[in-house]
Amino acid sequence: MRLNAYLARAGVASRRGADELIKAGRVRVNSEPGALNTFVEPGDRVELDGRELAPQRLAYVLLHKPAGVVTTARDPHGRPTVVDLVRHESRVVPVGRLDADSTGALLLTNDGPLAHRLAHPRYEVEKVYEAEVEGEPGGEALRRLREGVELDDGRTAPAGVRRLGPSSLELSLHEGRKHQVKRMLEAVGHPVRRLHRSRYAGLALEGLGPGESRELTGPEVEALRRLVF
């Protein structure tokens, strides 16, 4: 694997942070200075500031994200982060984002290739949201959501939509644009009051209260891999 990915797997930094460590000359591979294009092979010895590193085990964690927590590894404003909630022995990071005021299913992992594919629009990973909105959406609003809504960055793909109550909807999307659900509902005249992601890539939150997390099972990890590999 590429050296920056190895450093990230070892839990010392993000890939971008690992690039800075490599450029600063602090990383050696088999006693030679590491470079940005260095690949680490099985049996290679990798050192940071003279300390030998080893990759952490791959970890996959499902979190029920509560409101008021930001979807980053660290926050310059000192707000609580999803990584603070999970506090895993491995350095896991979130796959994609949920807004600070949104709640629901969030996957965290240190499996970089899987995380990249799950987050990439090409693989159309399903995300299911429950939205409480202003007003009571009628048939025309639901039709527009199902057929695609024109936004400032282009028309959305068709969405699965069903009514949960007079002012609540369930939306199933296979895209991942920034603030997409909120923008879609605002575009049809029903701004979001509360947004909850009930499922992500087939993973649901049964048994998890807000702020609680669990490790994925082996079959769940294999199911994720089948979605994108």
**Tens of pLDDT along 105-142?**
999 999 988 999 999 989 999 999 999 999 999 999 99
Output the pLDDT for position 20: 97
Residue that terminates a domain, selected from 37, 53, 69 = 53
Same domain, 171 and 132: yes
The residues carrying an active-site annotation are 99
Strand partners, 53: 46
Residue that terminates a domain, selected from 29, 53, 77 = 53
For the record, the structure tokens of 150 come out as: 């024109």
Output the pLDDT for position 101: 97
Output the pLDDT for position 73: 85
Put simply, whether the predicted model's pTM sits higher than 0.85 gets the answer yes
Same domain, 104 and 164: no
- Say which residue the tokens 């990759």 belong to: 55
Same domain, 9 and 117: no
Domain holding 43: CATH number?
Answer: 3.10.290.10
Same domain, 16 and 113: no
- Say which residue the tokens 């909630």 belong to: 85
Domain holding 114: CATH number?
Answer: 3.30.70.580
List helix spans (H) across the chain.
3-9, 15-23, 82-86, 112-119, 139-147, 180-187, 218-228
Output the pLDDT for position 176: 85
Q: Which of helix, strand or coil describes residue 46? A: strand
Answer whether 48's CB lies under 8 Å from 26's CB: yes
Same domain, 11 and 39: yes
Answer whether 13's CB lies under 8 Å from 21's CB: yes
Same domain, 130 and 194: yes
Q: What is the pLDDT of residues 189-204, one digit of tens each?
A: 999 999 999 999 999 9
Output the pLDDT for position 14: 86
Output the pLDDT for position 107: 98
Same domain, 130 and 178: yes
Same domain, 166 and 188: yes
**Helix, strand, coil shares, percent, the chain, to 5:** 25, 30, 45
Q: Which residues of the chain have pLDDT under 50?
A: none
**Which residues touch 142 (CB under 8 Å, ≥6 apart)?**
161, 163, 169
Quote the domain boundaries for residue 24: 3-53
Same domain, 109 and 95: yes
- Name residue 228's amino acid: V
Looking at the 3D structure of the chain, how many domains does it have?
Answer: 3
Output the pLDDT for position 29: 97
